Chains A and B, each alone.
Chain A
Amino acid sequence: MTALLSVRDLSKHFRGLAAVSRVNFDVNSGEIFAIIGPNGAGKTTLFNMIAGAMPPNGGTITFAGEQIGGLRSDEIARRGIGRTFQVVKPFPALTVEDNVVIGALMRTNSLSDARTTASEILTKLDLIAKRDQIASSLTLPDRKRLEVARALATKPKLLLLDEVMAGLRPTETDRIVAILRDLNKTGLTILLIEHVMRAVTALASRILVLHHGAAIAQGTPEHVLRDPAVIESYLGAEAL
């Protein structure tokens, strides 16, 4: 297996605060890789650097053999990294369909092609019945799904998902898990940040645990979730 994404010594600080410090990991082509850790651990900041929303202060990010650290987010999106936002960012006044059409327009200039792609993806994510609704009128779980749909419409090689299952009911979580597994089978590599352990264990082949900006453990779920440091800092009483 080859690494699709390689992160080396990646660091970001906000004034005094080291939000991410010297983090290393590889995501292999075709795998589902999870990042977990308590709130404020630096997970979203790590995503923002990979997606180009903010430049790193140190370290390198290599995607498909190319250095992408410090590129603009539209340049990174075009290289094949799709992302969702933890605090959802739909295009609020537009319809669900138009939100996804805009994603699809990254790969084509033809509106009818973009609409075809959009309706396939909306069907896959159970949003097709709501295609004509205005995005701002959706419930939060639907908006989270819309985030995924819009990112998928750009036909990424790597999909970054930031807590898309937060706030979902268990049945909804299972549905998303099944959808992500399907997508992964078609060759999509997924990097996900998730608090819902039920989803993490169901999906991830490997896990990275962040704590105060540093990676404290990394490996297969069986290995990582038994690690005493992880249990103490993150899983805590819940796991014991």
Chain B
Amino acid sequence: MTNIWYHTNWRGKAICLLLLLAFVAAPIVADRYLLSVLILVFYFAYLGHAWNLLMGFAGQLSLGHALYLGLGAYTATALWTLFGVGPWIGVFIAIPVAAAAGMLVGWLGWRFAIEGVYFALLTIAFAEFTRIGFDHLGITGASAGLFLSVSSEGADKWWNLGGGPLLYYYISLILAVAATVLVAGLRQSSLGYRWLAVREDPEAAQAVGINIFRARMIAMLISSSMTAVGGVFYGFYYRNLFPSQVFDIGRSIELILAPIIGGLGTIFGPVVGAIILTPLGEGLTGLMQSLGINAPGAKLIFYGIMLMIIISLRPDGVWPWLARQMGLNGSRK
């Protein structure tokens, strides 16, 4: 990070700081609705970073990140409703649970040379199995769902993530910024270079001493752990969980759109993608509601169209192009 920051020109630094300042100050002027949209922007930027680490850097396509999201969400919310363990502790149990699932998927895939599309199918299969499992898991409400009560002791306190939108706003902002800093640091580390090598050509990577299995497993470990934290956020923000929603492939798909549109394998791609895509999607939903149209699939269709347009115009994503337009250096990052 220090490295990237040091090498960024004054214009890049200024834009970065101004944007950050604007987000920090936004609650002064923004209404509840705008805050809720921004929360989603940060949330998708954060999850986009997590997924991009595995796909954009290490070159492994996961279409089942809902698995880690759902395990993170269920672990922390179940700990709270069943045992009264708050989310700030629960998150440290949610992370290893999701990471263990990630390691299992990675181990099965890479140990037995299941590559590319077949690996992606494996990730979908695991998310689906888990969804079916949770549909029948009585202790978490099975398919009827798990609800966080608002009336139980201490539920409205910030240390139980029970505050108002402002609390979620700043938590999501911190998550997004921290993920950006983490990813930038990893990209500039020897591990980051190893991931790029494995992505570009696994055989050549191995010939320069890289243990490709280990490099991929580390990427999976970090990616699934980060996603689990996003899941804890999701569980406490929405305060209800249904297996059919949280483990759905639609969840896995929606969290990969921002990095693809912003620029795969770039540091700021997931952020730029989330800033472009989320307000448009939410705006569309709002518009349809005010017009009284009820078409639940419309947002996904809209995302699909956006994806096609942007990928045909900017195959590398919006960020590399945008960075050039704004005269920023290091646009490939």
Taking Cβ atoms with an 8 Å cutoff, the residues of A that contact B are 51, 53, 72-74, 77-78, 82-83, 85, 89-94, 98, 101-103, 105-106, 108-111, 114, 150-151, 153-154
In the complex, B211 has a CB within 8 A of chain A: yes
Which residues from B are CB-within-8-Å of A110?
Answer: 190
Distance of A114 Cα from B209 Cα, bound (Å): 14
Residues A102 and B211 in contact in the complex (CB < 8 Å), given A92-B200, A94-B200: no
Most buried by B among A74, A93, A109, A151: A74
Please indicate the chain A residues that have their CB under 8 angstroms from the CB of B210 in the complex: 74, 102, 106
Q: Assess whether A91 is in contact with B211, with CB atoms less than 8 Å apart.
A: no
- Is A111's CB under 8 angstroms from B200's CB? no
Which residue of the partner chain A has the closest CB to B211? Answer: A74
B204 located at the interface, meaning its Cβ lies under 8 Å from any Cβ of chain A in the complex: yes
Instruction: Sort A-B residue pairs by CB-CB distance and give the 5 closest, nearest first.
Output: A91-B200, A106-B209, A89-B204, A77-B209, A73-B206
Partner of A98, one of B196, B204, B207, B209: B196
Q: Which residues of B contact A94 (CB under 8 A)?
A: 196, 200
A85 touches B190 (CB 8 A): no
Is B73 on the interface with A (CB-CB < 8 A)?
A: no
B193 touches A73 (CB 8 A): no
A98 to B190, CA, bound (A): 11
Asked if B212 CB lies within 8 Å of chain A CBs, one says yes
Interface size of B in residues (CB-CB distance below 8 Å): 20
Known contacts: A91-B196, A102-B196. The answer to whether A150 contacts B203 by CB under 8 A is no
Q: Hey, which chain A residues are within 8 Å of B200, CB to CB?
A: 90-94
Q: Assuming the A-B contacts A91-B196, A91-B197, are A106 and B208 also in contact, with contact meaning beta carbons closer than 8 angstroms in the complex?
A: yes
- Enumerate chain A residues within 8 angstroms of B190, measured Cβ to Cβ: 105, 108-111, 114
Nearest B residue to A95, CB-CB: B332
Given contacts A91-B205, A154-B208, 5 further A-B contacts (CB under 8 A): A72-B206, A92-B200, A94-B200, A102-B196, A105-B193
Q: Which residue of A lies closest to B191 (CB)?
A: A109
Q: How far is the CB of A87 from chain B (nearest CB, A)?
A: 10
CB < 8 Å: which of A78, A90, A91, A109 contacts B209? Answer: A78
Please indicate the chain A residues that have their CB under 8 angstroms from the CB of B189 in the complex.
Answer: 111
Q: Cα distance A73–B209 when bound, in Å?
A: 7
CA distance A110 to B190 in the complex (A): 7
**A102 partner residues in chain B, CB cutoff 8 A:** 193-194, 196-197, 205, 208, 210
CB distance from B52 to the nearest CB of A (A): 15
Q: Is there contact, CB below 8 Å, between B193 and A90?
A: no
The answer to whether A51 and B208 have CB atoms under 8 Å apart is no
Given contacts A89-B201, A89-B203, contact A151 B196 (CB under 8 A): no
Contacts of A73 in B (CB 8 A): 203, 206-207
